[in-house]
Amino acid sequence: MTGFLDLYSEKDTFLHRLDPRVKLLAVALISVLAFILAELLYLVVLLCFILLLLVLARSSYGKAFFALKFVIRFMILITLLWPLFDRSGTPILFSIGPLDITEPAVWRGATSAVRVGCFATVWYILMFTTSQRDLVRALVKLGLRFDYGLALAISFRFIPTFGLTIESIKDAQRARALELDRGSILRRSRNYVSILVPTIVYALRTADTLALTLQSRAYGAFSNRTYLREIRMRASDYVALTVVVLILLLPAMAKYICGVRI
Amino acid sequence: MIPRPDADSEDRVIFLRDAKFTYESGVEALKGVTLVIDKGEYLAVVGGNGSGKTTLAKHLNGLLRPTGGQVLVMGVQASTRTVAELARVVGYAFQNPDHQLFCRTVHDEVSFGPANIGLDGPEVKRRTDRAIAIMSLSDIRDRPPLSLTLGLRRRVSIASVIAMEPQVLVLDEPTTGLDAREADELMSIIRMLNDEGTTIVLITHEMKLVAEHANRVVVMMDGKVVLDSDTRGAFSDLGLLRRSKLLPPPVTQLAHRLSQIGVSKDILTPQELVFELTRGDDQ
C-alpha cells in the first residue's frame, strides 16, 4: 500500500512545474472525457495520450511498472468477465454450456476495460508529478479547510513511519518466539493481537505527541494563517488550463451539438 | 579473552563467517563480518548510527538472514532454523519496550515467550516467576505493563525475553531514556545474569557502559568490524573511536590527556585513575 504513496519523484518536467490545481482539474476533465467517449478507438487514443504524458513525466521504470501492473490486471479481468455477464446482442461467437458469448459484449467489455484504464492512469499523472505537500496545498487553495488539509498531509507523512514501526513490532514479537503463520485460524487471529495492541498504543502516543508539537508551534493561534510558499498561476499554467478545457470541450461539442458518434 | 576463530567449537555459541547483508533498498549494511562469540562472554558491539550494529544483532536470532556468508548458532546453520526456534537460544530485547508490551498484566507479558516455545504449564510458571524475580518485578506483577514508567517497561520487556532462558541475551541500547539510577540497576542485573553464565551481547554507543561492564569490545564502522579486542585495548586508540563516531568516557579522555605525566591510557573507571594518580604521588 505504501508503494502507491511513493509514486512521486523529484524531476523537472513541465508536468512537475504545472500548478497542482490545473493538474487536479485536468484529471477531473479527462475522467469526464473518458465517460463521454463511447467508441473503443477514441478511448484507445485517449489512453495512449495519457500514457504519453506518463512518459513525459519521466518516472522511473520501477515505479511505472508497479503502478501499471494493477491497472493492466484490472483491465484484463474486465475484458474477460464482461461477456460472461452481458449476453445481449448477436452474433453469438461461441457457447460454453448455458453461456453465450456474443460479439457486441466482447467489444463492450474491451471498451469498458480501456475506459477504466483511462480513469486509473490519469490519476497516476497527478501522483507521479505532484508531491503530497503540493497536492494538499492545492486542495487548501481550492477551499478545503486548512485543518483537514493538514490532517491529510499528516496521514500521508506517517504511513511509511507506521509501516516501519509495525515491522519493528513484528520483529520484537518474533524474537519472543511468536509464529504468525502457524496454528489454527483462531490461534492466528489471537497472535495478531500481540501486533495490534502495540501498534494502537504507538498510534495513540504519536497522535498525543503530535498534538502537543502542533500547539507548541502555535498551530491555530490565528484564524487567517499566512503561507511561506503561495501557489500562483503563471502564463504557462493558463495555456495548459486552456488546452485541458479544449481537450474536453471539443469532443463533447462534437458529440452533443454536432451529433458525431465518438 | 579473545577467542580465535580456529578455537574448539565446544564453547562457541555464535559464529559469523564473512556475513554480508544488503537491504532491499540496496544499502549494504554488513560488508563481510566474521565474529566468534563464546559462551559466557560479555560482548559490547559499538559503533555510530548506521554502522551496522543493529543489523548484525538481528542476524543472531534470524530476524535477518545474511545475503552472503554464514551465521552459525550453537554450531548449527541459522538459515535452517526459524526465528521461533532460534529464540530459545538467542533472546533479543528491543530498544523500545513499547514495541512488544501488549498484555494485561506484567505476569502475562513475561509468560508470553515461554508459552510460545511450547513449554508445559508448570515450566512456563517456573520460568515466569524466575524472570520476574530476577528483574525485581514481583511487587508489580499484576499491574498492566503499558502504564508503568519507561524504566519498568524496559525491565518487563527484558524479563519477557529472559523468561525463555536463552543462552545468549542481545540487548539493543538497554539504557536509552533511563535515568542514572534506573540504568545502574538494570546493568547490575545484567551483570548478574552474565555471572550466572548467560552470554551478553550489548549493542550501544554509550561508551561508559562498555567501560564498566563489557569484557570484549567489537567496534563497527560502515558495515565492517574495525576493532575486536578486550575492553582496555579498545580504549587505547582514541583516533579509531573518534572515526567510529564514539566518545570514550570522560575518565578515559582525562587519562589520555594525563598520559604525558605517566598515567596509563587504558583507564576505564574513576577508581582506576585515582589509584594510578596516588601511586604516582608515592614515587
pLDDT, tens digit, 9 for 90 and up, residues B65-120 = 999 999 999 988 888 999 999 999 999 999 999 999 999 999 999 999 999 988 88
Residue that has been written with the C-alpha cell 558491539 in this structure: B45
User: Which stretch of A142-146, A191-195, B80-84, B265-269 has the lowest confidence by average pLDDT?
Assistant: B265-269
Q: Which amino acid is at B48?
A: G
Instruction: Judge whether residue B128 has pLDDT over 90.
Output: yes
Band the pLDDT of B3: cuts 50, 70, 90.
very low
Q: Which chain B positions have a beta carbon within 8 Å of A178's beta carbon?
A: 84, 112, 116
CB contact at 8 A, B70 and B17:
yes
In this prediction, residue B9 carries a pLDDT of: 59
In this prediction, residue B263 carries a pLDDT of: 82
Instruction: Compute chain A's Rg from CA coordinates.
Output: 24
pLDDT, tens digit, 9 for 90 and up, residues A51-89 = 999 888 888 888 888 888 989 999 999 999 988 888 777
In this prediction, residue A152 carries a pLDDT of: 86
pLDDT, tens digit, 9 for 90 and up, residues A2-53 = 566 677 888 888 889 899 999 999 999 999 999 999 899 999 999 999 999 9
Is B113 near chain A, with CB under 8 Å?
yes
Write out the residues of chain A at the interface with chain B, using a CB-CB cutoff of 8 A. Answer: 165, 168-169, 171-179, 193-194, 196-198, 201-202, 205
The interface residues of chain B toward chain A in range 128-147, judged by CB-CB distance below 8 A, are: 146
Instruction: Judge whether residue A257 has pLDDT over 60.
Output: yes
Cβ-defined contact of A198 to B61 (cutoff 8 Å): no
Is B47 near chain A, with CB under 8 Å?
no
Band the pLDDT of B283: cuts 50, 70, 90.
very low
What's the 3-state SS for chain B? Answer: CCCCCCCCHHHEEEEEEEEEEECCCCCEEEEEEEEEEECCCEEEEECCCCCCHHHHHHHHCCCCCCCEEEEEECCEEHHHCCHHHHHCCEEEECCCHHHCCCCCCHHHHHHHHHHHCCCCHHHHHHHHHHHHHHCCCHHHCCCCHHHCCHHHHHHHHHHHHHCCCCCEEEEECCCCCCCHHHHHHHHHHHHHHHHCCCEEEEEECCHHHHHHHCCEEEEEECCEEEEEECHHHHHCCHHHHHHCCCCCCHHHHHHHHHHHHCCCCCCCCHHHHHHHHHHHHHC
pTM of the full predicted structure? 0.76
Cα distance between residue B94 and residue A173, in whole Å: 10
pLDDT, tens digit, 9 for 90 and up, residues B232-248 = 888 888 888 888 888 88
Instruction: Judge whether residue B162 has pLDDT over 90.
Output: yes
ipTM: 0.85
pLDDT, tens digit, 9 for 90 and up, residues B16-74 = 999 999 988 788 899 999 999 999 999 999 988 888 999 999 999 999 999 999 999 99
Cα distance between residue B80 and residue B63, in whole Å: 13
Instruction: Judge whether residue B6 has pLDDT over 80.
Output: no
By C-alpha distance, which of B64, B63, B56, B73 is closest to B168? Answer: B73
Instruction: Judge whether residue B188 has pLDDT over 50.
Output: yes
A96 membership: H or E segment, kind and range: strand A92-96
Instruction: Judge whether residue B1 has pLDDT over 80.
Output: no
Other beta carbons within 10 angstroms of residue B239's beta carbon come to: 7
Cβ-defined contact of B61 to A168 (cutoff 8 Å): no
> Exposure of B10 by Cβ count < 10 A (0-12 exposed, 13-18 middle, 19+ buried)?
exposed
Cβ-defined contact of A179 to B63 (cutoff 8 Å): no
Cα distance between residue A63 and residue A71, in whole Å: 13
Beta bridge partners of B28: B22
In this prediction, residue B281 carries a pLDDT of: 54
Percent of chain A scoring above 70 in pLDDT: 98
Cβ-defined contact of A171 to B63 (cutoff 8 Å): yes
Q: CA–CA distance from B137 to each of A7, B143, B198 (Å)?
A: 48, 10, 20
Percent of chain B scoring above 70 in pLDDT: 95
CB contact at 8 A, A76 and A148:
no
